[in-house]
Structure 1
Amino acid sequence: MMSHSRTRRLLALLAALAATLSLAAGCGGREAQTGQEAKQINIGYIAWDEDIAVTYLYKELLERRGYTVNATELEAGPIYAGLAQGNPDLFLDGWLPSTHEDYWKQYGPQLEDLGVWYDQATLNIAVPNYMTDVNSIADLKGKGAELGGTVTGIDPGAGLSRTTKEALPAYGLQGEFTLQTSSTTAMLAALQKATDERKPIVVTLWHPHWAYARYPIKDLQDPLGAMGAAEQIHAIGRKGFSQDFPEVTDMVKKFRLTDQQLASLENEINSAAKGQEQAAAKKWADANPDVIRSFAG
């Protein structure tokens, strides 16, 4: 998910221009040859771990059914603008009601909401499982010295960073803890080092994320709701998608992943070498036949 701040309206207004440039290379303008009869589909995806994971899972499953699948990575704005123009056909990572709110307000009437496949997209403060006396954000009070007074975060401009800065005072932690921002990569490296050495650490994280499958960590309870409510991840099609792709629509509408299933899929793909994402998706699908049967027959 989100190493970026929440989408701003200006970005949404500029998306159409960006789409004109980006989509000219392969995404933008309805392509008559796509559809179930032609067995061809264009999927747009953003560079967020869960979208990469599910896009390559769908690519693998649809190619097994004889489809030609063109998967193209773009920013969110150009994808929404492209969907409104008719290309790509499908986007599997629509964060609503908040993160992609501006895009949905602008383009939603021209799109098809194909349903929610994940409903626990949350922002979190997390610690290792072995910190057994810390189970709520409130439990951090009085532990600043033990933890170096630091909450290890991601980019300073991320929405998660802003939310965490607002949450610390809600729990009376503003004088005891400081959010240390850097990057997602740096945060994950610090988390791995701490858990390898079984040392205490507090980090900012979000669901869905593969770190929950790789490291022994837990989210801290947030009884005050200071980190915000859960969002939903929607599959979104261009106008006419369900009519042109009835078989894929049936798959998408049945598609559901639990937090554990999605984390394990992300972890499988994140652990693969660059360019081997689909091979990793195939490996995960073969190891989870019951999950695949639940939506893909």
Structure 2
Amino acid sequence: MRTIKLGTSSLEVPVVAVGCMRINSLDKSGAEAFVKTAIEEGANFFDHADIYGAGECEEIFADAIGMNASVRESIILQSKCGIRKGMFDFSKEHILDSVDGILKRLKTDYLDVLLLHRPDALVEPEEVAEAFDQLEQSGKVRHFGVSNQKPMQIELLKKYVKQPLVANQLQLSITNAKMISHGFNVNMENEAAIDRDGSILDYCRLHDITVQPWSPFQYGFFEGVFLGNDKFPELNKVIDTVAAKYEVTPTTIAIAWLLRHPAKMQPVIGTMNLERLKDCCAAAEITLTREEWYEIFRAAGNVLP
């Protein structure tokens, strides 16, 4: 599979990341087949979080892949921390405790990447910096990043954190593309002109932070998938036409649309279906034309000024 550098690091990662949030929906043989298929497709970057299945997903993954020293060196592991019941917590103590739990469940000595999961209003960036330093010096975490953060939240962390923040995981799909669409409507008096994210896409590009789109098939906030959905007839018509041209599935085109953006994104796919997993990975081999990208964008209801 095609690879990119993750942020400013030297870490080469596949352009499609495999999300493991739903791996606890599979039985043992299903989980083993899922992990095996991902690796065969060249998608050896696995995304976790300590809250997925209350930690169960990390345990299931480690068992499914048969974690050992040899296996560990052939894969890239990313996990996230900071979400607790009823709150967010970026305290030094919580970050350190969370990483220890993650490593134990994944049966590994280190994470390739650790992301802070959701912004903590009570964050004390000095504590985050101390936690990151300790994790880096101990060898428990090699690279760091954030998730769902705006530019100024990242800048606040960077004032104290010395490690590069290599990734920002953000909700983005064809139908959830406000971070793209408001850029077309600068200084205009319409809903589309409202910048709700502080121009985070441009910020990440300027600072070489890899955007990791999550829920690339969802519309709204986990309201459902747009592919094959009667709520999006024009969008599905266009996607189907483009898919037929490239002799691939609509799933492949939905991911290829994200990969076509010059920000060099790394979509995080969440499917547990083996055929859809393969379809997602196939997007790495397709480059949509400018005309096709914009046609899909407009078909989702985005109006160009």
TM-score by length of structure 1 reads: 0.28
Q: Which protein is bigger by CA-based radius of gyration?
A: 1
Which fold has the larger relative contact order, with Cα–Cα distance below 8 Å and residues 6 or more apart in sequence?
1
